[in-house]
Structure 1
Amino acid sequence: MPELPEGKVTQGIAIATAAAFFLLWIAGWLDVASLKGGFIPARVSGLVQVPGAVPVWLTPLSATLVHAGLLHIGFNLLMFVFVGRFVESVIGGGASLILYIVGAYAAALLHWSMDPTSTVPMVGASGAISATFGAYALFFGRDRTRGIGPLSGYAVRVLWLASAWIFVQALIGMAALGGVQVAIFAHIGGFVAGLALARPLLLWRYRKA
């Protein structure tokens, strides 16, 4: 098994996320934070207002700092610390941060598009982490894929990875793991963003090489 790279940016994001959760948990503010800092599609659509809430355009990011419980954040950060460090070793810290942020917004956008009237807050870093996972799958997948018709091998591989991830997330959603409703399309949105950004961010890092 390869040695886990250092990944300072990944580690920083994980520490900040864990610190925010435990502060809210200890203070008993998780429910309030979900409402005021979670991503609520109906707020984006202008259908509801939440007094004292985080500005709606920032909620895709603030939602990544709020989790439903220990199992929720534990699974998210375990996955993120592992794949994030490997991805950071390839594209660098700055690009990893961009990937994470864009993933959070892509996840929120697709989640909103599926039900713009929903008043249920979406919380957790799963969407942003899905973007990191998408890049990891593309960089470290060992299978070589041949092209099909007009599609290049790269395009076929992207479609296969996206389809596989969508299938896995659908299974998780049907199982409703731990009784928590999973925002399937948020995971999909983040993952697709990771697939789309992986190669451009890699080229950006080595643009002067």
Structure 2
Amino acid sequence: MGEALDWGYPATYNDDVIQLWLGIGSQIDGLSHFGLDGHHYNRNDAREFASITGATAMSVHNIPPLVGRGVLFDMVSFFGGDPLEAGRGISAQDIKDAEQKSGVKIGKGDVVLFHTGWVDSKMTSDPVAFMAGEPGITNDAAEYLARQDVMAVGSDTCGVGVSPAVAGDKLHYEHVILPKENGIYILEGMNTGPLAAEDVVEFMFVLGQPRVEGTVQMIINPVALW
């Protein structure tokens, strides 16, 4: 036991101690989160940077603030059905058609978000279904987005990619195509409902994530301004 602090007045205070999974809710996946055959972005070997005390390379705390144009594609409005059903893939052609319909062309450095209705309809009311499957982008959609040189890709689902995978696709291979192969961040569990409700297509995206050293993913609270 240490000695009581004598501040000269009857002060009271509260502190916080927290132990939790950082890959929950609205979150960002860093470049150290997902790889292929032990290798991550820029040929970083997981055996060299993954440690019980945290990632020694590509930690989320090193990601600079993400500020740029946000683009929202309301796929509920595009396809019909609220929410989209689990296993409903959003293909590269679907994205191109959505661009044409919305009049917005994806550009370099954009943050591209997809609204599927999944968070609004499933996360609280049916968490088992929320995690069991989801609508999302296909492998060729991830390749298309990577070719546009975007900054980040996100969705109102827990994985961004469609699950179960569509025929011929690898399950959640967007996690390889986007961060591992192209250095593009993934944003999961995004609250896109308010944007879709107001028919927002373009907005200013602002994110300064908590800078917890050694993390591979992080709970976030991004802001959309329009």
Question: Fold-level match, TM-score > 0.5?
Answer: no
Q: Return the structure number with greater helix share.
A: 1
Q: Return the structure number with greater strand share.
A: 2
Task: Please identify the structure whose Cα radius of gyration is greater.
Answer: 2
Taking structure 2 as the reference length, the TM-score comes to: 0.23
Taking structure 1 as the reference length, the TM-score comes to: 0.24
Query: Which structure's relative contact order is higher, taking Cα pairs within 8 Å and 6+ residues apart?
Result: 2
